[in-house]
Amino acid sequence: MRAGLAGWAFAAPALLIIGVFFFVPVLGAFAVSLTDFDLYALADLHNLRFVGLGNYLELLHSRDFWRALGNTCYFVIAGVPLSIAASLGAALLINSRLTRLPALFRTVFFAPVVATLVAVALVWRYLLHTRYGLINWALGGLGLHPIDWLGDPHWALPAIILFAVWKNFGYNMIIFVAALQSIPADLYEAAHLDGANGWQTFRRVTLPLLRPTMLLVGVLTVAGYFQLFAEPYVMTEGGPLQSTTSVLYLMYEQGFKWWNLGLASAIAFLLFLIMLAVTALELRFSRQRESA
């Protein structure tokens, strides 16, 4: 009993901080999401109406919300595997004994992660420029037609995905490098003696031993990619034709541009529920594979 009390006492400061700065605001936001809190309510609280689940129902009937959710899912489904593959590929290259100057490459690959988003977005906007951009110039060299990357609603999101993957893959790469280095060398030696080629070694030794890391990276990346916001905010402002409007971008617009804080809070909760469900599925899927 005394030990339990001491435990609570030690945990109390952290719990208090989490309670005050996380649970109370979240409860507050949930309460706001049940009202039509807007500019008029800011002027006078008498203008606030309780709408129950009205905001949620409105969202489920709104074209904008489904469109934003579709864009976000597209971004997650295409972006996450691409991002993890790029991270793993880069990690394998850096970890390979054939690579010279691994420290240099590690730094170079990690640089986009720490670079200021707005600055690199500006550079990418020039790279992707329809008439003057380097990428279309290269495509032209291959005999392909120029692509209106950020102006064509079909290409804008792929361009954003490309940009986001480039910006973020270095972070997961570092995690993979650490995991790869913790794989004992004698396992590779044994595989080698058994006559396994490079691909077999990768499939049967590296990948299984990376599985816990893979799960961690997967969960973190999916959660991060669902919260797509800054990239479209600086690159396209949600356009063209709202093809890069993500759920979070929609929330920002409703909340901080139009001051529909009630509706914006409802968007935040829906996104939270979706992310919770997806993460739960991921964990369950990985547990099944482990037991199988």
Partner 1 sequence: MGREGEVIAKLLPQFQRLHPDIEVRVQQLPWNTAHQKLLTAFAGGATPDLCQLGNSWIPEFAALEALEPLETSVAGSSVVQSADYFPGIWQTNVVEGRLYGVPWYVDTRLLFYRRDLLAQAGFSSPPRTWNEWRQMLAAIKARVGPDRYSVLLPLNEFEPLLVLALQQPEPLLRDGGRFGNFESSGFHRALEFYTEAFTNGWAPPVENTQVPNAWEELGRGYYSFYISGPWSIGEFKRRLPPEQQASWMTAPMPGPDGPGASLAGGSSLVMFRRSHHKPEAWLLLEFLSSPATQRRFYALTGDLPPRRSTWEAPELADNVYARAFREQLEQVKPAPRVPQLERIVTEMRLVAERVVHGDLSIDQGTIELDRTVDAVLAKRRWMLAREAPR
Q: Among residues 26, 29, 40, 275, which is the contact residue for partner 1, using CB under 8 A?
A: 40
Q: Would you call 136 helix, strand, or coil by DSSP?
A: helix
Closest CA to 123 of 135, 137, 141, 109: 135
Q: Among residues 29, 130, 209, 275, which is the contact residue for partner 1, using CB under 8 A?
A: 130
Q: Restricting to residues 47-66, which ones interact with partner 1 according to CB under 8 A?
A: 47
d(CA 146, CA 138) in angstroms, rounded, equals 9
Q: Least distance (Å) from partner 1 to the CB of residue 256?
A: 6
The residues, ordered by sequence, that sit 6+ positions from 278 with a Cβ below 8 Å of its Cβ are 222, 226
d(CA 237, CA 222) in angstroms, rounded, equals 22
Please answer whether residues 133 and 151 qualify as being in contact, where contact means their C-beta atoms are separated by less than 8 angstroms. no
Give the end-to-end CA distance of the chain in Å, rounded to a whole number: 41
Q: Among residues 92, 125, 174, 279, which is the contact residue for partner 1, using CB under 8 A?
A: 125
Q: Would you call 50 helix, strand, or coil by DSSP?
A: strand
38 binds partner 1 (CB under 8 A): yes
Q: Least distance (Å) from partner 1 to the CB of residue 43?
A: 4
Residue holding tokens 């420029």?
A: 129
From 5-13, 135-143, 148-156, 266-274, span contacting partner 1 (CB under 8 A) = 148-156
Q: Least distance (Å) from partner 1 to the CB of residue 184?
A: 51
Task: Count residues near partner 1 (CB under 8 A).
Answer: 26
Please answer whether residues 82 and 166 qualify as being in contact, where contact means their C-beta atoms are separated by less than 8 angstroms. no
Residue with smaller CB distance to partner 1, 241 or 273: 241
Q: Among residues 32, 34, 36, 162, which is the contact residue for partner 1, using CB under 8 A?
A: 36
151 binds partner 1 (CB under 8 A): yes
Q: Restricting to residues 199-238, which ones interact with partner 1 according to CB under 8 A?
A: 235-237
Please answer whether residues 64 and 250 qualify as being in contact, where contact means their C-beta atoms are separated by less than 8 angstroms. yes
Residues that bind partner 1 (CB under 8 A): 36, 38-40, 42-44, 47, 125, 129-130, 148, 150-151, 153, 235-237, 239-242, 256-259
